[in-house]
């Protein structure tokens, strides 16, 4: 037994963590099936879950996810929540492919959360299988260790939010595409090549496929783009080894002196380096690390520079292609965001708003340790780590800094271990584990840009792959080191896997409903706030808000919600105080300004309301909703010209703000500018085909005599909301005007048979029957309208006037006269009723009361030719009557 080797008897063999290393395709298939089964069993109880938390906004309330609500291509111009990417209120989360999977879910199975959850579980099983395959082929090259890695990944509790929470599909699907892109890149490189330079690209098709899959991963979730960085580093340091020492790192470390000897490669191939001596193999690698920088400098300054460029040319070509493509993707990403970053509030990410560099640095560093701890020991998990849940680290004496130092020390050891391992050409799993752990987490680290959360468990779904690889590598080394006690390490691994599975199943139960999710955290102000918004019991909601304020008196959203609750209860003075406090603690919270200003306007404090709106616009100058609401206020207070500019500002900052477009259209309509109104209504329809947009456009067409256009618009509106009574009534009115009385009658009859108290339906039915000379039915319809007991005197007057007309047509003049009399009792300005009463008296020969009624009507409508003619006829009759009496 030579020096530097270790002699082992039969009883001294080191036991690996898992026995089955290469058992053929049958064994591998069994292991894959077992891993998928564990993944499915861990999340089986999640299938009964509801739409919770962000699911409501990303799916239920997102028009891009609902077929028919918006065209499919709208997902490529809007963010994850359905807002335009160019809007200032957008979160800039561009995930169109994920939104389209939601749309497909609804298209195939409706808005049933079961099928959403089922697809998430299936995707998680697929990720588990592909991860195992990846570990087997490119990491451990051992199906046993790959299987254990897949088991830990399948059961890790940190995945609960990503798998059980439906919106977490973005992370799961992006992870699947991430792995497929990584595998495709590996297939594109000729790993069997032996020669003087790095392995060439064996399959350009697989390289292009990798670029395509990586792009798809990015379009599912932004972190997917990090796969390109993983591929390049893996290519440079591992694929290029080609079974020997042909990696970039080894090329730079070969030419150094150790123990007085200078080692160089043989001429000919990269695979022909002398093996290290036993002394070198036993070395701890510190000399390598110490001399590496000088070796790199000497190597790069020598004639070897040209040889290096020649040898690395295949890799550099691939790297140039990938980097150019990534730059183009980043440019597209910035372009689709409109060149602006998302606007987050202090509540979303308090550390990023701290004015102190030390606080930001210490907090960001601690959050790295906090995320690492969630992977290592997922004991306490939370759906929403927001303001107050993790206090800022404001001092170097904060004990939490020890966690940061420990993490830094561990990562340094792993990097050193990885660095030294290259000398021996072993432990590629360390590098792959670090790549999978670090790269996908970079976008969430606040390193390059501000993110909209403190900690988000679902973003750890992809980094957990690296954690599981490192964990299994460590457990395997532990088994080898413990030798005959290896069974203990295996038992520990099994126990840890059982604990992970149990925690995952229990955590799934929390995500089954919004109420169970929020109730779990009684000391979490945001959870109590969410419970308050969820419950329909006003007293209970008030209690939740009050408890939340006890935990965090400066929680501006709780103050806002409680203020609005008190406002609806009529406690306006208390509401004003709370809303002012909400603005004080959240000066960039635009909704608080709008709510306070509208409350002050209701109290006729118009000057104060205007000041609040102006203060809000000053602090939130790009808030489209605030500009729109201020425009409404200006219209109501008689400043339409100024309102126009604010509506236009709202549309400028939010090009898809159809509410502002409709408001602007209505304003132009009120000003008599019908063409401008039509333009804005149509522009709003390009954003969304909604009833609230179609209806005012239909009214515009109807009132300007464009009945065909009005009919088309109202038919579309009725098809979008078949149960909308007002839309069907307007459609029936257009049909009646166009002479299509039969269809209008059927539609109105259907409305009234539904049990709806539709007074206008009876009035229109009465008009239709009267036109058909079916006066009995017309009279019956008016009587049913009167039975609804309307409260407006003018409406009652109109109904009795119509009833009088029907009675007059049937020659029931006395009854008609009584109806007209009741009509003028409710509305003395009903000129037509006065005139008809005069007409009845005129017919009866009662000329004196007839004149009185005619003159009363003429006072109301002095330019009425008919009244003047009737009075002239009455004068002639009276003269004839007097002449007749004179002759007699």
Q: Please provide the average confidence, as pLDDT, over all residues in the chain.
A: 84
pLDDT tens per residue across span 605-615: 999 999 999 99
869 burial class (0-12, 13-18, 19+ CB within 10 angstroms)?
exposed
**What's the pLDDT score for residue 427?**
66
Of the ranges 25-29, 726-730, 790-794, which one carries the lowest mean pLDDT score? 25-29
Q: In the structure, what pLDDT confidence band is assigned to residue 757 with cuts at 50, 70 and 90?
A: confident
Q: How far is CA 552 from the centre of its chain?
A: 27
Please state at what angle helix 725-737 crosses helix 741-753, rounded to 10 degrees: 160
Q: How far is CA 259 from the centre of its chain?
A: 61
* More reliable by pLDDT, 478 or 10: 478
Q: Which helix (H) or strand (E) holds 257?
A: strand 257-258
Average pLDDT over residues 579-597: 91
Query: 0.75 cut: is pTM over it?
Result: no
Q: Which two tokens stand for residue 256?
A: 């150094």
293 burial class (0-12, 13-18, 19+ CB within 10 angstroms)?
exposed
- 293: pLDDT strictly greater than 60: no
- Residue 349: which of 385, 397, 304 has the closest Cα? 385
- 288: pLDDT strictly greater than 50: no
Q: Which two tokens stand for residue 461?
A: 């779904």
Q: What is the CA radius of gyration of the chain?
A: 39
* More reliable by pLDDT, 581 or 85: 581
pLDDT tens per residue across span 378-425: 988 887 776 667 888 999 999 999 999 999 999 998 888 777 766 555
Q: What percent of the chain has pLDDT over 70?
A: 85
CB 149 within 8 A of CB 21: no
Average pLDDT over residues 444-452: 80
Can you tell me whether residue 827 is helix, strand or coil? Answer: coil
Q: Which helix (H) or strand (E) holds 579?
A: helix 572-585
Q: In the structure, what pLDDT confidence band is assigned to residue 487 with cuts at 50, 70 and 90?
A: low
- 433: pLDDT strictly greater than 60: yes
**What's the pLDDT score for residue 703?**
92
Q: Which two tokens stand for residue 512?
A: 């089954």
Can you say whether the dihedral through the CA atoms of 426, 428, 429, 433 is positive or negative? positive
For 532, what's the count of Cα atoms within 13 Å in the CB-facing half-sphere?
A: 27
- 289: pLDDT strictly greater than 60: no
Dist. CA 160–CA 117, nearest whole Å: 12
- 14: pLDDT strictly greater than 70: no
Q: In the structure, what pLDDT confidence band is assigned to residue 17 with cuts at 50, 70 and 90?
A: low
CB 98 within 8 A of CB 170: yes
- Residue 215: which of 248, 239, 181 has the closest Cα? 181
Long-range contact pairs involving 378-382 (C-beta distance under 8 Å, separation at least 24): 378/156, 378/157, 378/158, 378/500, 378/503, 379/503, 381/157, 381/158, 381/160, 381/161, 381/457, 381/507, 382/455, 382/457, 382/521, 382/524
Q: Which helix (H) or strand (E) holds 261?
A: strand 261-262
- 1: pLDDT strictly greater than 80: no
Dist. CA 291–CA 293, nearest whole Å: 6
**What's the pLDDT score for residue 762?**
86
Dist. CA 341–CA 331, nearest whole Å: 13
In this structure, what are the phi and psi dihedrals at residue 812, rounded to the nearest 5 degrees? -90, 75
Contacts of 344 (CB under 8 A, 6+ apart): 352, 450, 451, 452
Q: How far is CA 410 from the centre of its chain?
A: 36
DSSP-derived pairing of the beta strands 261-262 and 257-258: antiparallel
- 636: pLDDT strictly greater than 80: yes
- Residue 857: which of 877, 876, 829 has the closest Cα? 829
Contacts of 389 (CB under 8 A, 6+ apart): 382, 454, 455, 524, 526
CB 710 within 8 A of CB 698: yes
Contacts of 499 (CB under 8 A, 6+ apart): none
Of the ranges 278-287, 310-319, 495-504, which one carries the lowest mean pLDDT score? 278-287
Dist. CA 676–CA 516, nearest whole Å: 51
CB 540 within 8 A of CB 559: no
Q: Which two tokens stand for residue 20?
A: 């089955």
- 243: pLDDT strictly greater than 50: no
**What's the pLDDT score for residue 278?**
42
Q: Which two tokens stand for residue 630?
A: 């201020």
CB 374 within 8 A of CB 158: yes
pLDDT tens per residue across span 657-685: 899 999 999 999 999 999 999 999 999 99
**What's the pLDDT score for residue 448?**
76
Can you tell me whether residue 50 is helix, strand or coil? Answer: coil
CA angle 834, 837, 840 (to 5 degrees): 155
Dist. CA 507–CA 676, nearest whole Å: 56
pLDDT tens per residue across span 175-230: 999 999 999 999 998 877 766 677 888 899 999 999 999 999 999 999 999 999 99
Highest averaged pLDDT of the listed ranges 221-230, 282-291, 742-751, 758-767: 221-230
Q: Which two tokens stand for residue 152?
A: 């830990």
CA angle 21, 247, 462 (to 5 degrees): 60
CA dist list (Å): 618 to 212, 637, 842: 45, 21, 69
User: SS3 for 157-181, per residue?
Assistant: HHHHHHHHCHHHHHHHHHHHHHHHH
Dist. CA 84–CA 87, nearest whole Å: 5
- 272: pLDDT strictly greater than 50: no
In this structure, what are the phi and psi dihedrals at residue 201, rounded to the nearest 5 degrees? -80, 110
Q: What is the dihedral of CA 399, 404, 407, 412, to 10 degrees?
A: -120
CB 174 within 8 A of CB 462: yes
Average pLDDT over residues 280-293: 47
CB atoms within 10 A of CB 773: 8
Please state at what angle helix 204-220 crosses helix 313-336, rounded to 10 degrees: 30
- 113: pLDDT strictly greater than 90: yes
- 255: pLDDT strictly greater than 70: no
Can you say whether the dihedral through the CA atoms of 820, 822, 824, 826 is positive or negative? negative
């Amino acid at each position: 037994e030579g020096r530097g080797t270790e002699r082992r008897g039969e009883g001294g063999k080191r036991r690996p963590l898992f026995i089955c290393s290469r058992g053929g395709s049958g064994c591998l298939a069994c292991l894959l099936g077992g891993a998928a089964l564990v993944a499915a069993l861990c999340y089986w109880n999640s299938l009964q879950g509801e739409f919770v938390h962000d699911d409501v906004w990303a799916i239920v309330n997102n028009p891009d996810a609902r077929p028919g609500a918006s065209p499919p291509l709208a997902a490529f111009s809007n963010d994850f929540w359905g807002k335009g990417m160019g809007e200032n209120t957008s979160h800039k989360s561009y995930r169109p492919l994920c939104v389209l999977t939601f749309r497909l879910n609804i298209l195939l199975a409706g808005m049933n959360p079961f099928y959403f959850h089922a697809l998430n579980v299936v995707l998680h099983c697929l990720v588990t299988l592909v991860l195992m395959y990846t570990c087997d082929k490119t990491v451990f090259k051992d199906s046993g260790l790959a299987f254990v890695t897949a088991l830990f990944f399948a059961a890790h509790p940190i995945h609960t939010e990503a798998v059980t929470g439906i919106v977490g599909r973005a992370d799961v699907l992006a992870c699947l595409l991430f792995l497929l892109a990584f595998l495709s890149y590996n297939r594109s490189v000729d790993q069997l090549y032996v020669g003087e330079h790095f392995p060439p690209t064996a399959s350009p098709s697989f390289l292009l496929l990798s670029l395509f899959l990586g792009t798809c991963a990015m379009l599912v979730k932004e972190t997917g783009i990090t796969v390109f960085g993983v591929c390049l580093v893996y290519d440079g340091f591992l694929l290029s080894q080609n079974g020997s020492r042909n990696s970039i790192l080894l090329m730079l470390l070969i030419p150094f002196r150790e123990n007085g000897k200078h080692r160089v490669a043989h001429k000919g191939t990269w695979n022909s380096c002398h093996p290290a001596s036993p002394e070198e193999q036993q070395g701890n690698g510190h000399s390598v690390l110490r001399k590496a920088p000088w070796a790199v400098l000497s190597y790069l300054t020598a004639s070897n520079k040209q040889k290096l460029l020649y040898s690395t040319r295949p890799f550099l070509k691939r790297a140039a292609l990938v980097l150019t493509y990534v730059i183009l993707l980043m440019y597209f990403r910035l372009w689709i965001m409109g060149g602006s970053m998302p606007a987050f509030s202090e509540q979303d990410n308090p550390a990023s708003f701290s004015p102190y560099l030390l606080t930001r640095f210490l907090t960001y560093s601690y959050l790295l340790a906090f995320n690492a701890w969630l992977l290592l020991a997922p004991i306490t998990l939370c759906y929403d780590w927001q303001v107050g849940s993790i206090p800022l680290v404001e001092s170097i004496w904060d004990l939490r800094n020890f966690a940061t130092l420990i993490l830094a020390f561990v990562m340094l050891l792993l990097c050193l271990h990885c660095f030294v391992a290259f000398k021996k050409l072993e432990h590629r799993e360390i590098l792959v584990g670090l790549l999978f752990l670090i790269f996908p987490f970079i976008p969430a680290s606040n390193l390059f840009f501000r993110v909209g959360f403190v900690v988000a468990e679902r973003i750890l779904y992809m980094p957990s792959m690296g954690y599981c690889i490192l964990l299994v590598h460590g457990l395997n080394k532990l088994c080898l080191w413990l030798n005959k006690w290896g069974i203990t390490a295996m038992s520990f691994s099994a126990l840890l896997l059982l604990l992970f599975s149990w925690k995952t199943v229990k955590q799934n139960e929390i995500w089954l409903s919004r109420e169970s999710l929020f109730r779990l955290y009684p000391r979490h102000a945001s959870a109590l706030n969410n419970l308050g918004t969820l419950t329909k019991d006003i007293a209970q909601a008030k209690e939740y808000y009050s408890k939340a304020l006890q935990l965090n008196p400066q929680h501006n959203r709780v103050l806002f919600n409680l203020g609005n609750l008190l406002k609806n209860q009529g406690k306006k003075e208390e509401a004003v105080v709370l809303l002012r406090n909400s603005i004080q603690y959240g000066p960039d919270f635009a909704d608080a300004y709008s709510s306070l200003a509208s409350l002050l306007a209701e109290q006729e404090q118009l000057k104060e309301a205007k000041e609040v709106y102006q203060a809000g616009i000053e602090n939130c100058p790009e808030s489209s909703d605030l500009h729109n609401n201020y425009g409404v206020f200006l219209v109501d207070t008689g400043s339409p010209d100024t309102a126009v500019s604010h509506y236009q500002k709202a549309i400028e900052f939010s090009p898809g703000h159809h509410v502002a477009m409709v408001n602007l259209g209505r304003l132009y309509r009120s000003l008599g500018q019908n063409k401008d109104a039509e333009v804005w209504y149509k522009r709003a329809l390009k954003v969304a085909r909604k009833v609230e947009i179609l209806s005012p456009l239909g009214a515009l067409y109807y009132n300007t005599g464009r009945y065909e256009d009005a009919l088309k618009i109202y038919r579309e509106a009725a098809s979008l909301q078949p149960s909308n009574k007002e839309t069907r009534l307007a459609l029936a009115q257009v049909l009646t005007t166009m002479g299509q009385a039969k269809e209008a009658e059927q539609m109105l009859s259907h409305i009234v048979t539904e049990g709806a108290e539709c007074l206008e339906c009876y009035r229109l039915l009465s008009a239709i029957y009267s036109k058909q000379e079916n006066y009995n039915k017309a009279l019956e319809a008016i009587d049913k309208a009167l039975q609804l007991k309307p409260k407006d005197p003018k409406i009652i007057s109109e109904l009795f006037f119509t009833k009088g007309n029907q009675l007059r047509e049937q020659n029931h003049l006395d009854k008609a006269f009584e109806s007209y009399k009741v009509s003028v009792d409710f509305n003395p300005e009903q000129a037509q009723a006065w005139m008809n009463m005069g007409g009845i008296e005129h017919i009866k020969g009662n000329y004196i009361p007839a004149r009185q009624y005619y003159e009363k009507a003429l006072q109301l409508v002095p330019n009425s030719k008919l009244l003047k003619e009737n009075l002239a006829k009455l004068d002639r009759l009276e003269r004839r009557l007097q002449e007749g009496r004179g002759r007699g």
